[in-house]
Amino acid sequence: MAVQRVANISVMTGLAHDADLYHAWCESVIFGSFSGQWSRKFAVGSAFLRGMGHGRVAALSGIAATQEALGRYVVEAKLPEIGQRKADGYEGEGYVIVRDPSTEIVQRCLNKIIETVNVTYSE
């Protein structure tokens, strides 16, 4: 059975507003109310980790360099696992979510992740 993936929209919305989106949803369903006015406090972005080719994940590179350079901005990550089949969707086999008050910094972080992390496959 295929696992349904999402593009981290709910997670990123909560991180951008420094709010628990799932709690707010539960509150609105159970009590029929929404207790907050949210304002955006952070810029947030998600870089999906995937490579070129087919098969299974054979190697990852650039993870340590990325962690060293951007670790303070990373709020969530799911790294591809060696042996994992290549995913069918655009989300790839993993992701890294970064957050900062500055949109420019988040954009630079996402570019660095995309340029540094490499996923290699074997048939």
Give pLDDT tens digits for 61-94: 999 999 999 999 999 999 999 999 999 888 889 9
19-48 pLDDT, tens per residue? Answer: 988 888 899 999 998 877 889 999 999 999
Predicted confidence band at 2 (pLDDT cuts at 50, 70, 90)? very low
pLDDT of residue 5: 52
Domains identified in the chain and CATH numbers: 42-122 (3.30.470.20)
Do the beta carbons of residue 74 and residue 97 sit within 8 Å?
A: yes
Q: Which residues pair with 74 in a beta bridge?
A: 98
Dihedral (CA of 79, 106, 118, 49) sign: positive
Do the beta carbons of residue 92 and residue 49 sit within 8 Å?
A: yes
HSE (CB half, 13 Å, CA atoms) of 58?
A: 9
**Quick one: DSSP state of residue 58?**
E
Q: Cβ–Cβ contacts within 10 Å for residue 57, how many?
A: 24
Backbone angles phi, psi at 5, to 5 degrees: -110, 150
